[in-house]
Structure 1
Amino acid sequence: MLSLLSSLLCVTLLGLRAGAFPIDDFSVTSQKFLSSAVPDGFSINLDEERLVQFSDDEPPVWMTEREKIRAKALGRKFFDITDTPLSKLAPAPLAASRAYPKLNKQDLVHPVLANLTVDGMITNLQKFTSFRTRYYRSDTGKASQQWLVQRIGEITEEYASTSLAALITVTEFTHPWGQNSIILRIKGASEEATAENGTVLIGAHQDSANMIPFLPAPGADDDGSGSVTILEAYRGLLASNYTPVQDVEFHWYSAEEGGLLGSQAVASAYAQRSVNIHSMVQLDMTAWVKKGTREEIGIVIDYVDADLTAFMRTLIDAYCSIPSVDTKCGYACSDHASWSKAGYRSAFAIESTFDNSDKNIHSTNDRLDISPEFDFNHMLEFSKLSVGYIIETAGWAK
């Protein structure tokens, strides 16, 4: 009955405009937040209309920002396609016609795995969750992004050799809402290999959101965990003086919580330039091990590339100490979907099955100290997966 009511509310929601909403899952307090003036420190017009896509089988609909917030709170997943209305498919990269190889770089990968620790992840996530919210349209969301750029620079300075540092660039992909996406590139030793086989991408989203965006959102698991997980993989690679054969990029996306806005902008820009992408892997929520369940890595099997997903399972078997488990995520559930939309191969790894994932997300309780179920050693398994994925696909120029 509750499920039916929620479904009816979702349908009703799409036909309404500001000021005409029924009472739904939101409390009276929440209604007040969404009808009051926007607090200082936030830059959002709740009445601005946005074009939103809930399914490939449904036409997009115009909704206000206020309605978008309600739809997300009701569990609906979507692309906000206002700025990227069409799926401009990228030309199929050469790598897309090739099967993923059998693993053959174990001797290179395992020494890097030995360099990975939870120490940096703990320190980095403590700082990253100290911002009141990392909401993409907030002052603190911008400040958290600036801190992350600074932290990436500090790690590069500390761990990269002079020759390796010369191959690394960090750029901000600017967005009109203020919080920028971050793109870190390690230039490969072979321009020919990059041109032929494509750039290897790994990403996470840096923003956080409460169901009511003006409330605190520490975002420890969603997706502070993924953000610091790939940062630790980067540090471990630098500490091992890793130089890829083909280009490798680490991405930290802005505005995932607003409808995959940041990753859509980045993927669309790459597609428009016909950038050859080998593959893209997204890590979104890597910390939670539900009490009483088996520790495992969730591999999403819907709206992803099947061959790349199978390759991810192979990597987990080889380089992680826990098994994989298949799970489903739904439409537009994280930033990998933006790359699929643009015509590229993508895959998505998450902390568990969705049924066993962290239920504290999008609340003030998404903290790293909320429960022993928040496990940094579990996150470390995803850093191992990241390192294995990068070295096996981008190679190592020894």
Structure 2
Amino acid sequence: MVRALLVSLSASLALAATAAAYSWDFVDNSLPEPTFATQTACSRELRGVYEDLSIYAYSASCSLTTNMLPAENNMRQLIVLERQHLEGDSERDIREWNHAVHESLRGLSVPGPYDIADNDSEESAQIRFRSFRGRTRGHHREACTFTPVEMPVSQPKYRVVVGSNCAAEETPYLIDNLPSNTEILPVRTEGFVAPLDSLPKDHPIVLKNRALKHRQALQSLVDQVDVETMEKDVTWLSGEAPGSPFLTRSSTSKQSLEVAQWLKSQFESYGCDTVELMPYQNRFGPNVICTFKGTEHPTEHVIIGAHHDSRGSFLNPRAPGADDDGSGTTMLLQIARIIKANNLSFGRTLVIAAFSGEEQGLFGSAALAKKLKASGTTITMMIQGDMLAYRKPGEPLQVAFPARYHTPELSSLLRNVTELYVPNAVVGTTGACCSDHQSFWEAGFPATAFFERNGPIADPKYHNSGDLVYREGYDFEQLKTSAQAMLASVFEVAEAKVSGADL
């Protein structure tokens, strides 16, 4: 008999944001899929996949009462919180993190969103947020509350599932109350998750990996990655350059709009065919989307992304995010600069995407992935660059790919590309999670990510207001290495051309 791991809440969870009520069920992936011969009318949709934890929504009409939670409740979403993989983690550290998360959520009540166009400074907004008790911009409303779910004993302590009475888009400030090494993983409240774990043998990624060979013309482009221009861009983003206006790049601050506008102007100067500000929630700054239209396969898209938002220390209005993810955003600008300098075109359509809302739960990338999936867009590849510039003193230059939440064949191709064109880099894997490529992987698109280090995160200023350029460990040779690997990868798959001819 199939055993389902049913998690009971003090109050049952339901998805009330849709026309039909839903309830949530946690299923152990190590067990075979349940079959219910008499329950053919039961609608079951996968909403989140996190290794050994799968989360499904069932329609209220489904009669599988033994495997379900009742639908009568005001809780509207589930949130998965995961402890980021840090160097030196011990079992005690993990237990203490789990305890800290539960303590942070105990009695927590946070406001609904306020418009980021407010005249509030970031500091006053933070103060107002933390003193909020049921009032938003002068209007009474019920605050969002959060209830930790009692997890089965089989679940690891580095993950906490939380239920909330508010929809996901209404809780952008949750992250500010959690330990700094906490990642918010999205549980979809509409649509369904369909991760792409493998590619067919005739997929362009698989075929390209078989025929991969070094080309000197592509190597010459890789060698054009320039430290001086990257330093100029990343210090402007971090607020360290003279004249930079940026105190913070938090997605929930009005400066997020200013960052997006600046990125838009930069991409326009580099000759993108189109540059779009893509708003998706009024409490976040927009995504910035630069597109170079493909000449031979314009309906096939190659996406390279990073997130332009950042996160600072608790109660500190400063959020420079020089590594997380000013480094990735600078990489995007560097690739656009090299495209312009060499008058490149592409066989496939190339999309350069600077996302917002990553720190609050991959909101910006989820909005784009949802839009592309709904339109039936063909995505040949999506790659993300997140944290590319920190090098622990004494360690070699490195490029790492995810150990989970990625498409293996794609990671294999990009590993091979990196070894061909950036031979001085030590290539491996990382247990660090979670970034915007996951939104595309969950939507069924081939996706993976680049990271600065094999193994866990070593940057001591991760999610900290001290995440600056001019500090020990921030290494421009490491950033250059990461940018070279990503440029080679995207130019290879997008089929870069000079004067209309293949490289």
Provide TM-score, normalisation by structure 1: 0.81
Partner of 2:19: none
The 3 A distance-change label for structure 1 pair 11 and 178 is closer
SS of the residue 2:249 aligns to: coil
Amino acid at match of 2:412: A
SS of the residue 2:212 aligns to: coil
Are 1:7 and 2:98 an aligned pair?
yes
Q: Map of 1:140-155 to 2, 5 A cutoff? A: 140-155=255-270
SS of the residue 2:324 aligns to: helix
User: Bigger shift: 91-100 or 267-276?
Assistant: 91-100
Partner of 1:22: none
Partner of 1:25: none
CA contact (8 A) 1:14 1:61 kept: no
User: How far apart are 1:138 and its partner, in Å?
Assistant: 0.5
Structure richer in strand, relative to its length: 2
CA contact (8 A) 1:199 1:247 kept: yes
Match of 1:36 among 113, 131, 139: 131
CA contact (8 A) 2:201 2:207 kept: no
User: How far apart are 1:155 and its partner, in Å?
Assistant: 3.2
Q: Following the alignment from structure 1 to structure 2, what is the Cα–Cα distance between the partners of residues 262 and 323?
A: 31
CA contact (8 A) 2:312 2:465 kept: yes
The 3 A distance-change label for structure 1 pair 308 and 113 is same
Q: Deviations over 1:273-320 (max 9, x none)?
A: 111000111000111110122221122121111000111110110111
Q: Following the alignment from structure 2 to structure 1, what is the Cα–Cα distance between the partners of residues 445 and 148?
A: 21
Q: Following the alignment from structure 1 to structure 2, what is the Cα–Cα distance between the partners of residues 301 and 2?
A: 21
The 3 A distance-change label for structure 1 pair 227 and 5 is same
User: Bigger shift: 45-54 or 320-329?
Assistant: 45-54
Partner of 1:24: none
User: How far apart are 1:220 and its partner, in Å?
Assistant: 0.5
Q: Following the alignment from structure 2 to structure 1, what is the Cα–Cα distance between the partners of residues 301 and 438?
A: 18
Partner of 1:347: 448
User: How far apart are 1:59 and its partner, in Å?
Assistant: 6.9
Q: Map of 1:198-213 to 2, 5 A cutoff? A: 198-212=300-314
The 3 A distance-change label for structure 1 pair 96 and 261 is farther
The 3 A distance-change label for structure 1 pair 5 and 205 is same
SS of the residue 1:135 aligns to: coil
SS of the residue 2:181 aligns to: coil
User: How far apart are 1:104 and its partner, in Å?
Assistant: 3.8
Q: Map of 1:69-148 to 2, 5 A cutoff? A: 69-71=176-178, 73=179, 75-81=181-187, 85-87=190-192, 89=194, 97-98=202-203, 99-101=206-208, 102-104=211-213, 106-130=215-239, 131-148=246-263
User: How far apart are 1:12 and its partner, in Å?
Assistant: 5.3
SS of the residue 1:297 aligns to: strand
The 3 A distance-change label for structure 1 pair 89 and 275 is farther
Q: Deviations over 1:54-96 (max 9, x none)?
A: 99x987621755544323x2533223457x5333549999988
Q: Deviations over 1:297-352 (max 9, x none)?
A: 1221211110001111101101112121211124xx11011111111111111111
Partner of 1:182: 288
Partner of 1:23: none
Match of 1:318 among 420, 430, 442: 420
Q: Following the alignment from structure 1 to structure 2, what is the Cα–Cα distance between the partners of residues 153 and 10?
A: 43
Return the structure number with greater relative CO, CA threshold 8 A, min gap 6. 1
CA contact (8 A) 1:304 1:346 kept: yes
Are 1:250 and 2:359 an aligned pair?
no
What runs of 5+ residues in structure 1 fail to find an aligned partner? 20-30, 157-164
Q: Following the alignment from structure 1 to structure 2, what is the Cα–Cα distance between the partners of residues 180 and 52?
A: 31
Question: CA RMSD of the aligned region, Å?
Answer: 3.3
Q: Following the alignment from structure 2 to structure 1, what is the Cα–Cα distance between the partners of residues 415 and 336?
A: 21
The 3 A distance-change label for structure 1 pair 278 and 87 is same
The 3 A distance-change label for structure 1 pair 326 and 8 is same
Amino acid at match of 1:112: L
SS of the residue 2:346 aligns to: coil
Amino acid at match of 2:414: M
User: How far apart are 1:15 and its partner, in Å?
Assistant: 6.2
Match of 2:324 among 213, 219, 222: 222
Q: Following the alignment from structure 1 to structure 2, what is the Cα–Cα distance between the partners of residues 250 and 291?
A: 32
SS of the residue 1:252 aligns to: strand
Structure richer in helix, relative to its length: 1
The 3 A distance-change label for structure 1 pair 51 and 250 is farther
Amino acid at match of 1:77: E
Q: Following the alignment from structure 1 to structure 2, what is the Cα–Cα distance between the partners of residues 256 and 104?
A: 35
Are 1:17 and 2:108 an aligned pair?
yes
Calculate percent identity across the aligned residue pairs.
22
Q: Following the alignment from structure 1 to structure 2, what is the Cα–Cα distance between the partners of residues 46 and 35?
A: 15
User: Bigger shift: 98-107 or 135-144?
Assistant: 98-107
Partner of 1:381: 481
What runs of 5+ residues in structure 2 fail to find an aligned partner? 1-91, 111-125, 166-170, 240-245
SS of the residue 2:384 aligns to: strand
CA contact (8 A) 1:129 1:218 kept: yes
Partner of 1:336: 437
CA contact (8 A) 2:302 2:380 kept: yes
Q: Following the alignment from structure 1 to structure 2, what is the Cα–Cα distance between the partners of residues 132 and 95?
A: 46
Partner of 1:307: 409
- Which one has a bigger Cα radius of gyration? 2
CA contact (8 A) 1:109 1:387 kept: no
User: Bigger shift: 97-106 or 252-261?
Assistant: 97-106
User: How far apart are 1:34 and its partner, in Å?
Assistant: 5.7
Partner of 2:399: 297
The 3 A distance-change label for structure 1 pair 91 and 154 is same
